[in-house]
Amino acid sequence: MLALTLSSTAVLAYADLLPASLDLDLGLFEDAAPGSLPHVAQKIALGGSLTIVAFGSSSTEGIGASTPAAAYPARLEAGLRRALPHLAGRITVANRGIGGEAVDEMLARLDRDVIAPRPDLVIWQTGSNDALRGVSLDHFREATEAALERIRAAGIDVVLMEPQWCPALDATPGADRFRDAVRALGRDLDIPVIRRSELMRDWIGQGRLTHTELFAKDGLHMADGGYALLAEAAQDTVLDGADAAPVAVAAAGAD
């Protein structure tokens, strides 16, 4: 049997050029690259429906945005539909953010909002309210790690999103330890992390946004300009993770 290992992008590029006698059997390799998103890659390559759950607290819900359409999940859905036109309207990003929640509240709805719907990917934004509410760092890390393992055991790809950079967290002693804990979980579990705090500083430093365009008036949440760039960063993470995951193109019928 002839077998070729290609990225999902390559499958899309060359599928129409393969002989009609070839049967495309796209399977996920167990040795996918660290940080890759194999379930997303498979859906992109097969041209099926791609479902993403944006899970988190107020930054996912979109507090500080002028409208729900300006929140990052809605912008991410629109951006992915433009980037993957072969999927047309079969891309859905469900917003499952609830403002004010820390890790225990999110875990209480993990089954309902993440595992039961069986999405291809969950983007989990976490760590901000835990710092603000004085949650134990050890508890945060242990509970989050256990939940991540449950999500992946259900056959769902995962991306983590770290806490934001903002005046309110800057004034909270130890808040940076939760940011570092999210990064460490990503490193230890081979999960991509959207380094939001670092990105936000870069957007200001590079002159892409002013403070007024980046931050809402409350000094905690993002404004429309920040959510727009956050959606771009999330889109890049999804597409890069999918491209890093190989799929197998096998020639069926060969004895």
147-174 pLDDT, tens per residue?
A: 999 999 999 999 999 999 998 898 999 9
64-84 pLDDT, tens per residue?
A: 999 999 999 999 999 999 999
H or E stretch covering 97: strand 91-97
- Alpha carbon distance 113, 73 (integer Å): 15
Across 228-249, average pLDDT: 88
Complete domains list, the chain, with CATH: 37-244 (3.40.50.1110)
Sign of the CA dihedral with 139 first, then 142, 146, and 151 last: positive
Supply φ then ψ for residue 246, to 5 degrees: -75, 150
pTM: 0.85
- Alpha carbon distance 68, 66 (integer Å): 7
pLDDT above 70 covers a percentage of the chain that reads 83
Confidence class for position 31, pLDDT limits 50, 70, 90: low
